[in-house]
Structure 1
Amino acid sequence: MQRWIWLTSLTCSWLLVSACGDSDATTEASTDSDATAATTDATAGSSGSTAGTSDGSSGSSDSDSSDATTVGTTATTTATGPTDPSDPSDPTDPSGPTDPSDPTTDGTATTTDGEYTPGYLHTDGADIVDHQGNPVRLTGLNWFGFETDTFAPHGLWARPLPAVLDQIDNLGFNVLRVPISNQLLEDGVTPNGIDFGQNPGLMGMSGVELLDHFIAEAGARGLKVILDQHRPDAFAQSELWYTPQLSEDEWIADWEALTMRYLGDTTVIGADLHNEPHGPATWGTGDPGTDWRMAAEKAGDAILAINPEWLIIVEGIEQHNGNNYWWGGNLRGAAAAPVTLAVPNQLVYSPHEYPNSVYGQPWFNAPDYPQNLAGLWHDTWGYLAEDGVAPVLIGEFGTHYQDPKDLQWADALAQYILAHDLSFTFWCLNPNSGDTGGILLDDWQTVHDGKMAWLGPLLAPKLP
């Protein structure tokens, strides 16, 4: 079928973007289910992480699955994959929607003299920098829900949206990673699980209209937003960036649509291209059906052709050259095969990192634990920052903050973040994450004091 997405730019012109294919994607590769109904007593949840074990099996735990710590291998179904990138029928980099030299255009991403736009971010070696080149750090939270079948941030059944955003702001976080699904962009998607008595202004909004409103409210408080393509539909995570129901072309087209929609809105600073590539995902192999690096370059270049000032956030994979790690956490391949984008100084690598309580990885039982962690992190993803290759943003890490090994891991990770000036988005705000719980307790209001005592010293100032 065809799906139609209404877009608007800052020029107040309306565009109609068509993406052919059925976006009601069900994925072939998931042991998790994030489709919890949002009720006032909803408690199911998970971290959004998954564990690559020493024998290649996986522990499943996406964003709100109540049995998130179940361990097992994922089922693999052959999907209709991307074709040879040299094929002229494949999607090419789109021409920019506006001409920066056109004085009638005010939705452009850069100024006419080539300077960076205030509010957007860029990179310089291992640093993320503002438009004047000053180093900054992203220190934020994940707030999930848009990617589930509520098509709305979770917790709005308990509190007004402005009150939650005010609390996030007051706690000192400066960015939100917002998981979404491609299904959210479809016409007719209706948010639910919202107490409209406390959120009367949200009544009647579509999913993407609510996303617009969320971004506007975050921006009004000086919070930045990273959009995270967390899953193809509202029900399951996918191993690869495409599925039998969501082609690579559609995945890229959706990113182009989102980039165009928020062109010129400096609240939205980047795109986390695909959450936790794993299973058959490879790095640098040249196989267009599995090579995540190749796909990330295609999608990243398509986005940068529209807005050359978005950060392109690229996660790792699960397995590389016999080394297994958390889903999305293995960036060893980037040493020999780094991501190369058409626009320089916009690439950020983003591993996911979890503790023993999420899955008992072998390194948690090493005789030199937790002293072994810094070396493991360096070899798996930290070298990118330590060696000045590119910035690292830890896109997910979290814990219930109870297991003794978790507490050792938490202390070691905090030291590593500070030692190397790393950015991060903590998993998560939501208390209904089964693997980790959240910054908030089950009432969606009380702060977990232990977690904030741990994270507080890691927080950076508001972003310009």
Structure 2
Amino acid sequence: TTTTSPSPDPGGPAPRLRVSGNKIVTSDGKPYRLLGVDRSSGEYACVQGKGQWDGGPVDQASVDAMKSWNIHAVRLPLNEECWLGVNGSPSGATYQQGVKAYVDLLVANGITPILDLHWTSGAYSNGPDWHCKDATATCQKPMPDAQYAPQFWTGVANTFKGNDSVVFDLFNEPYPEIGSDWNKTLGWQCLRDGGTCTGIPYEVAGMQDLVDAVRATGAANVLMVGGLEWANDMREWLAYKPNDPLNNIAASWHAYSFNACATASCWDTQIAPLAQQVPVVIGEFGQDNCGYDYMDTLMDWAAAHDLSHLAWTWNPWGCSTGGVLIKDWNGTPEPGVGVGYKAHLLTQNPYTIR
């Protein structure tokens, strides 16, 4: 069983983090879990004419609302073309400054920012019906592109190197195997190595390319790397883990109620063995009916296995089909999903001992 540290949260800025064995630890070696939420908008608003954060506040009051839930980590999806100034508004330096200002505010409040490459370039016409066919970064693509993604991570890493309180999630939800009729071996190879991938018409940046781009800047930040099937299939993650000279990589697992691996028996079989080897961060999770029963089961399991977790999403969009935690930016929880997750977070301390 897992017990949380009896000591209160020390306050102050977010801790500097690194990977040690199968734990994320602070600079003084204390195990630390990333416990919090995703805050969507940085990936889509700039290419949809909605500004940088879709009208949502990024001020102290909005951070205080997060702190009222005992949130200690916030994952921020980003758009590579807006960061690089290729597309969108704001873009380039203005977009970069917006990200940096929000990151600095979160760190000062003891909250770990996780910067996630979410929307990327690359024309992909073989996708499911819901998938956009646009070559620009206006929807989720199966893999990051070689044209811009390494440049994006070079820029992000140069901006935040030396600030080890910031975590980098290299790519949101890979699903390269969809281009090869679900050939998982080809999928895992594409995920790690990139290049020309079956069924994907653009040149792909693999996870090794992105690790190399970050480390070439001198940035030592903790990196997160996902698996296949929208980061839900982690079975071959260890075999295809990219090489990091700093050995500072955590596994990013997404765990929704509608994913293939959505039962405790699957988690015991597929996720628990991985969590014995490397830190596992549930980068996104939720359920599709705005309830909390599935999430409650997952949270009990995550706590027992010392997993970090970030629920989708801290946006007041109205919970009609799931994945919406709040009714307003003051942090009023949605019934079910929000009430349940807030109650869970209030029982947690990121400094865990086993």
Q: What TM-score, normalized by structure 1, do the two folds share? A: 0.58
Give the one of 142, 153, 164 matched to 2:38. Answer: 142
Cα pair 1:300 1:341 within 8 Å, conserved: yes
Offset, 1:453: 1.8
Task: Summarize the Cα distance change of 1:347–1:151 in structure 2 as closer, same or farther, 3 Å threshold.
Answer: farther
Give the one of 249, 273, 282 matched to 2:187. Answer: 282
CA RMSD, aligned part only? 3.0
Give the one of 78, 82, 89 matched to 1:190. Answer: 89
Give the one of 244, 264, 289 matched to 1:341. Answer: 244
Confirm whether residue 169 of structure 1 aligns to residue 67 of structure 2. yes
Offset, 1:277: 0.8
Counterpart of 2:157 in structure 1: which amino acid?
Answer: T
Q: Which residue of 2 aligns with 1:124?
A: 20
Post-superposition CA distance 1:376-428 (Å, at most 9, x none):
0133333211xx2110000000236645xx61x22321121111100111111
Query: What is the rounded CA distance, in whole Å, between the counterparts of 1:446 and 1:426 in structure 2?
Result: 15
Q: Which residue of 1 aligns with 2:233?
A: 330
Post-superposition CA distance 1:302-325 (Å, at most 9, x none):
21232342111001111xxxxxxx
Confirm whether residue 259 of structure 1 aligns to residue 259 of structure 2. no
Question: 1:299 aligns to what SS in structure 2?
Answer: helix
Q: Which residue of 2 aligns with 1:38?
A: none
Task: Summarize the Cα distance change of 1:180–1:435 in structure 2 as closer, same or farther, 3 Å threshold.
Answer: farther
Question: Deviation above 6 Å: which 4+ runs of structure 1?
Answer: 291-294
Question: 1:353 aligns to what SS in structure 2?
Answer: strand
Matches within 5 A, 1:13-412: 119-148=15-44, 149=48, 150-156=50-56, 159=57, 161-187=59-85, 189-191=88-90, 206-232=94-120, 233=136, 235-242=138-145, 248-268=146-166, 270-278=167-175, 279-280=178-179, 282-284=187-189, 288-290=195-197, 295-318=206-229, 327-344=230-247, 346-355=248-257, 359=258, 373-385=263-275, 388-399=276-287, 402-403=290-291, 407=293, 409-412=294-297
Counterpart of 2:109 in structure 1: which amino acid?
Answer: R
Question: 1:168 aligns to what SS in structure 2?
Answer: helix
Count matched residues.
299
Counterpart of 2:251 in structure 1: which amino acid?
Answer: Y
Question: 1:135 aligns to what SS in structure 2?
Answer: coil
Query: What is the rounded CA distance, in whole Å, between the counterparts of 1:309 and 1:377 in structure 2?
Result: 30
Query: What is the rounded CA distance, in whole Å, between the counterparts of 1:445 and 1:363 in structure 2?
Result: 30
Matches within 5 A, 1:374-453: 374-385=264-275, 388-399=276-287, 402-403=290-291, 407=293, 409-432=294-317, 435-442=321-328, 445-448=331-334, 449-453=339-343
Task: Summarize the Cα distance change of 1:125–1:209 in structure 2 as closer, same or farther, 3 Å threshold.
Answer: same
Cα pair 1:181 1:230 within 8 Å, conserved: yes
Counterpart of 1:296 in structure 2: which amino acid?
Answer: M
Report percent identity of matched pairs: 24
Task: Summarize the Cα distance change of 1:363–1:208 in structure 2 as closer, same or farther, 3 Å threshold.
Answer: closer
Query: What is the rounded CA distance, in whole Å, between the counterparts of 2:52 and 2:340 in structure 1?
Result: 28
Offset, 1:184: 1.7
Offset, 1:460: 2.0
Counterpart of 2:73 in structure 1: which amino acid?
Answer: V
Question: 1:397 aligns to what SS in structure 2?
Answer: strand
Offset, 1:216: 1.9
Task: Summarize the Cα distance change of 1:400–1:121 in structure 2 as closer, same or farther, 3 Å threshold.
Answer: same
Cα pair 2:34 2:310 within 8 Å, conserved: yes
Structure 1: 5+ residue stretches without partners: 1-117, 193-204, 243-247, 319-326, 365-372
Query: What is the rounded CA distance, in whole Å, between the counterparts of 1:363 and 1:123 in structure 2?
Result: 25
Post-superposition CA distance 1:298-354 (Å, at most 9, x none):
211221232342111001111xxxxxxxx111111124333322222x010011011
Q: Could you say which structure has the higher helix fraction?
A: 2
Counterpart of 2:170 in structure 1: which amino acid?
Answer: L
Query: What is the rounded CA distance, in whole Å, between the counterparts of 1:400 and 1:331 in structure 2?
Result: 22
Q: Which residue of 2 aligns with 1:14?
A: none
Q: What TM-score, normalized by structure 2, do the two folds share? A: 0.75
Structure 2: 5+ residue stretches without partners: 1-13, 121-135, 180-185
Counterpart of 1:164 in structure 2: which amino acid?
Answer: S
Select between 162-171 and 182-191 the one with higher mean Cα deviation.
182-191
Task: Summarize the Cα distance change of 1:443–1:229 in structure 2 as closer, same or farther, 3 Å threshold.
Answer: closer
Query: What is the rounded CA distance, in whole Å, between the counterparts of 2:320 and 2:217 in structure 1?
Result: 38
Query: What is the rounded CA distance, in whole Å, between the counterparts of 2:58 and 2:254 in structure 1?
Result: 30
Query: What is the rounded CA distance, in whole Å, between the counterparts of 1:226 and 1:294 in structure 2?
Result: 20
